[in-house]
């Protein structure tokens, strides 16, 4: 969020960058939909910092992590106000950690299919590999 510049983010989704691209010519590579046992500690750390920025205080401690294999957030995650936060439920309305990029893209597509009036603007940050993977998944 950069209110002085008129830029607002209502949600943040943190995803590990697991690219299948190792060469420029590997456009036919497949992107793994899920890598069991992937260390998501960096994504949870980013989530903790994001929640601190949004809520002005720590709402997560170092050990408060959502179990990524337990499932994805409910679709209502996209509709709820960021001012609501429910750490007791291990659910945060302003951020989420997803175990993989393909699961994230599929989840977002399912949300839009379920609610066709929903309009999303997505900002992808990270490596060029991550941006390339997003573009590749969007073309599917």
33-73: per-residue pLDDT in tens? 555 667 899 999 998 888 888 877 777 655 445 444 456 78
> CA–CA separation, 111 vs 97, rounded Å?
16
Who contacts 124 (Cβ-Cβ below 8 Å, separation ≥6)? 130, 131, 134
Ordered by start, the domain boundaries in the chain are: 3-17+35-138
Rg, C-alpha atoms of the chain: 16
Q: Tokens for 23?
A: 């060469």
Q: Quick check: pTM over 0.75? A: no
85-140: per-residue pLDDT in tens? 555 555 556 888 999 899 999 999 999 999 888 888 888 888 888 888 888 888 86
Long-range contacts of 56-60 (CB under 8 A, 24+ apart): 59/85, 59/87, 59/92, 60/87, 60/92
The CA-atom distances, in angstroms, between 105 and each of 7, 48, 60, 91 are: 23, 22, 26, 20
């Amino acid at each position: 969020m950069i209110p002085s510049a008129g830029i607002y983010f209502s949600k943040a989704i943190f995803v590990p960058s697991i690219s299948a691209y190792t060469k420029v010519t590997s456009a036919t590579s497949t992107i793994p939909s899920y890598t069991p046992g992937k260390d998501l500690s960096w994504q949870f750390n980013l989530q903790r910092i994001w929640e601190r920025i949004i809520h002005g205080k720590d709402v997560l401690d170092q050990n408060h992590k959502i179990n990524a294999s337990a499932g994805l957030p409910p679709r209502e995650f996209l509709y709820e106000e960021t001012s609501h936060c429910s750490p007791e439920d291990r659910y945060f309305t302003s951020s989420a950690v997803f175990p993989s990029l393909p699961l994230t893209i599929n989840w977002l597509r399912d949300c839009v299919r379920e609610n066709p009036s929903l309009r999303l603007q997505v900002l992808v940050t990270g490596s060029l590999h991550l941006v390339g993977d997003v573009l590749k998944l969007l073309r599917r």
